[in-house]
C-alpha cells in the first residue's frame, strides 16, 4: 500500500464513526421521531398484539397450544395448510416477537398472560369479543369516512354470526340476572326466544323452570344450526324446538307466556321498532310478558360507542336504543305496565319488561297483528 492509500484508509476509518454519529443525531432529532416512537409503543404494538391474539384464538391455535407445545409441522397439520408451511412459520414467529408466543427447541408455546387466559374454554366469550372487536369494530372505525363517500353500508353478511353469538355471552351475567328476576317458576311457561344466538339463555330459563318449553328462533341459518346442536348436547331437544326464522315474517299463534329478545333490538332500524315490538306482542297470550335486554346509549363505554357506530353504518339495523325512547316504543306497540331497570349501576345495560295487557294501544285487545 502506498502512503497516499494508507492515509485515505486511516481518514475513512476515523470519519466513518463521525458520519454514523451525525446520521444517528439527525434521525433522533427529527421532530417526527418521538411521535413515531410514542405511536409505536402506545398505539400500534398493542393493536398488533390484539390482532395476533384474535386470529390465534379464532383459528384455534391458542387453544391447541394450551393443550401442549407444538412444532411447526403439528400446527400445519392442525390448520390443514400443508402448502403454506413457511408462511405459517412467519406468522407464528411474528407472534413470538410480539411476545404472545414463545419458541423452544422448535416447539411453539403460549407466553403472555392474555394468550394463556384467552385459551381457557371458560373465557370463550371474551376471546370471541376480541375477535368481534378486531374483525368488525376496527373496520367500522377505519372505513367510516370512505363508506360515506362510497355510499356503502355493512350488511348482516359482514358479521360472522357464530362469533357474535359467542361474544354476546360476555353479557351473560346481566342477562341471566334479568331472567332470574322475571321468569315465572311456579307454573309451566311457554317461551319464545327471538334471536337466540347460542341458545344459552333458553337453557338458563329451562334450568330455572323444569316445566318450561320453548321455541328458539334465529335469523341466521348457521347460528340456528349451532343453537340446535347445543340444545341436543344439553339434552333439551324434548323441550326446546329450534328454528331458523325472521321475527318479521314468523307465523305463530298468540300462545306464548313469555317472549324474550336479548341483545338484538338494534338489529332493527329505529323506524321499524314499534312494528317489530307489535309483532313480538302478537305472539303473546293475553297477560303474557315481553322481556327485552339491551345495552343502551350513554355510559361512556368505548366498546358500545363503536358497536353503535357499526349499526349506524349497517343497511339493516339501527343505533343502540335510548331507554326512554324504547319505553315509548313499547307503549306505542300496545304493551302495558312497561318498566325499565338497570342491573349494574355503572353499566348502560337495561332490562325492559312489558305486558300484553287487556287493551292494546291499537285496540287489538292483545290479539295477533295481521302480517
Ligand atoms: C347479538 S346476537 C345476540 C344473541 C343472543 N340473544 C345473546 O344475547 O347471546 C343477535 C342475534 O339476533 C339475531 N336476529 C337479528 N335479527 C333477527 C330477526 N329479524 N329475527 C330473528 N333473529 C334475529 C341475529 O341473527 C343474532 O344471532
Q: List, as one string, the DSSP characters of 317-349.
A: --PPPPHHHHHHHHHHTT-EEEEEEESSTTS-E
Residue nearest to atom 16 of ligand 1 (CA): 267
Whether 24 has a pLDDT exceeding 80, the answer reads yes
Cβ neighbour number for residue 330 with a 10 Å cutoff: 28
Whether 64 has a pLDDT exceeding 80, the answer reads yes
Phi, psi (rounded to 5 degrees) for 351: -110, 125
Q: How much is the mean pLDDT over the chain?
A: 93
Q: Is 126 in the pocket of ligand 1 (CB under 6 A)?
A: no
Phi, psi (rounded to 5 degrees) for 216: -110, 125
Query: % helix / strand / coil in the chain, to the nearest 5?
Result: 55, 15, 30
Q: Give me the pLDDT at residue 17, please.
A: 72
Q: Give me the pLDDT at residue 19, please.
A: 79
Q: Is 165 in the pocket of ligand 1 (CB under 6 A)?
A: yes
Q: Is 215 in the pocket of ligand 1 (CB under 6 A)?
A: no
Helices (H) and strands (E) in the chain, counts: 16, 10
Which of 33-42, 305-314, 315-324 comes out lowest in average pLDDT? Answer: 33-42
Q: Is 307 in the pocket of ligand 1 (CB under 6 A)?
A: no
Centre of ligand 1 to C-alpha 45, Å, is: 34
Residue nearest to atom 14 of ligand 1 (CA): 195
Q: Over range 323-345, report the average pLDDT.
A: 97
Which one is predicted more confidently, 255 or 364?
255
Helix (H, G, I), strand (E, B) or coil at 292: strand
Chain centroid to CA 300? 18
Q: Over range 187-207, report the average pLDDT.
A: 98
Q: Give me the pLDDT at residue 10, please.
A: 54
Whether 163 has a pLDDT exceeding 50, the answer reads yes
Q: Give me the pLDDT at residue 368, please.
A: 33
How is residue 195 annotated by DSSP? S
How is residue 314 annotated by DSSP? B
Whether 132 has a pLDDT exceeding 90, the answer reads yes
In the β-sheet with 107-110, what is the strand arrangement from edge to edge?
Answer: 70-71, 107-110, 101-104
Q: Give me the pLDDT at residue 7, please.
A: 53
Q: Over range 100-128, report the average pLDDT.
A: 98
Domains of the chain (ranges, CATH numbers): 32-119 (1.10.10.10), 164-355 (3.40.50.150)
Q: Give me the pLDDT at residue 357, please.
A: 86
Checking 202-207 for CB contacts under 8 A at 24+ apart, the result is: 202/231, 202/236, 202/240, 203/230, 203/231, 203/234, 203/236, 204/176, 204/179, 205/179, 205/260, 206/236, 206/239, 206/240
In this prediction, residue 1 has a pLDDT band, given cuts at 50, 70 and 90, of low
Q: Over range 92-119, report the average pLDDT.
A: 98
Pair 218, 197: CB distance under 8 Å: yes
Residue nearest to atom 5 of ligand 1 (CA): 197
Q: Which atom of ligand 1 is nearest to the CA of 193?
A: 6
Q: List, for residues 252-269, the tens digit of each pLDDT value.
A: 999 999 999 999 999 999
Q: Which residues have a Cβ under 8 Å from the Cβ of 70 and sit 6 or more positions away?
A: 64, 78, 107, 108
Of the chain, the percentage scoring pLDDT greater than 70 comes to 92
Q: Which atom of ligand 1 is nearest to the CA of 268?
A: 16
Which one is predicted more confidently, 115 or 360?
115
In this prediction, residue 55 has a pLDDT band, given cuts at 50, 70 and 90, of very high
Amino acid at each position: 500500500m502506498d502512503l497516499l492509500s494508507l492515509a485515505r484508509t486511516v481518514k475513512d476509518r476515523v470519519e466513518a464513526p463521525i458520519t454514523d454519529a451525525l446520521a444517528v443525531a439527525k434521525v433522533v432529532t427529527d421532530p417526527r421521531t418521538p411521535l413515531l416512537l410514542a405511536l409505536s409503543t402506545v398505539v400500534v404494538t398493542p393493536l398488533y398484539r390484539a390482532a395476533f391474539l384474535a386470529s390465534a384464538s379464532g383459528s384455534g391455535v391458542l387453544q391447541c397450544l394450551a393443550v401442549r407445545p407444538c412444532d411447526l409441522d403439528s400446527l400445519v397439520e392442525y390448520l390443514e395448510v400443508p402448502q403454506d408451511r413457511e408462511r405459517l412459520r412467519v406468522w407464528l414467529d411474528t407472534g413470538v416477537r410480539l411476545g404472545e408466543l414463545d419458541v423452544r427447541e422448535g416447539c411453539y408455546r403460549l407466553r403472555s398472560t392474555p394468550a394463556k387466559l384467552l385459551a381457557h374454554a371458560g373465557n370463550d366469550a371474551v376471546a370471541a369479543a376480541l375477535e368481534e372487536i378486531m374483525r368488525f369494530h376496527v373496520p367500522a372505525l377505519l372505513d367510516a369516512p370512505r363508506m360515506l363517500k362510497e355510499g356503502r353500508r355493512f350488511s348482516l353478511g359482514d358479521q360472522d354470526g357464530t362469533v357474535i353469538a359467542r361474544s354476546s355471552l360476555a353479557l351473560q351475567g346481566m342477562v341471566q340476572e334479568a331472567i332470574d328476576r322475571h321468569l315465572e317458576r311456579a307454573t309451566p311457561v311457554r317461551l319464545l326466544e327471538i334471536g337466540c344466538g347460542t341458545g344459552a339463555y333458553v337453557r338458563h330459563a329451562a334450568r330455572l323452570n323444569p316445566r318450561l318449553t320453548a321455541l328458539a328462533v334465529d335469523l341466521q341459518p348457521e347460528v340456528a344450526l349451532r343453537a340446535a346442536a347445543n340444545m341436543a348436547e344439553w339434552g333439551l331437544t324434548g323441550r326446546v324446538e329450534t328454528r331458523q326464522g325472521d321475527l318479521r315474517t314468523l307465523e305463530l299463534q298468540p300462545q306464548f307466556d313469555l317472549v324474550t329478545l336479548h341483545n338484538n333490538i338494534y338489529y332493527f332500524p329505529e323506524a321499524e321498532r314499534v312494528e317489530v315490538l307489535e309483532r313480538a306482542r302478537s305472539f303473546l297470550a293475553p297477560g303474557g310478558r315481553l322481556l327485552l335486554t339491551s345495552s343502551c346509549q350513554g355510559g361512556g363505554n368505548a366498546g358500545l360507542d363503536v358497536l353503535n357506530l357499526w349499526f349506524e353504518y349497517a343497511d339493516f339495523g339501527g343505533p343502540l336504543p335510548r331507554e326512554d325512547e324504547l319505553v315509548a316504543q313499547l307503549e306505542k306497540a300496545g304493551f302495558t305496565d312497561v318498566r325499565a331497570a338497570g342491573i349494574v349501576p355503572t353499566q348502560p345495560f337495561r332490562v325492559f319488561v312489558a305486558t300484553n295487557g287487556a287493551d292494546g294501544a291499537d285496540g287489538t285487545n292483545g290479539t295477533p297483528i295481521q302480517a
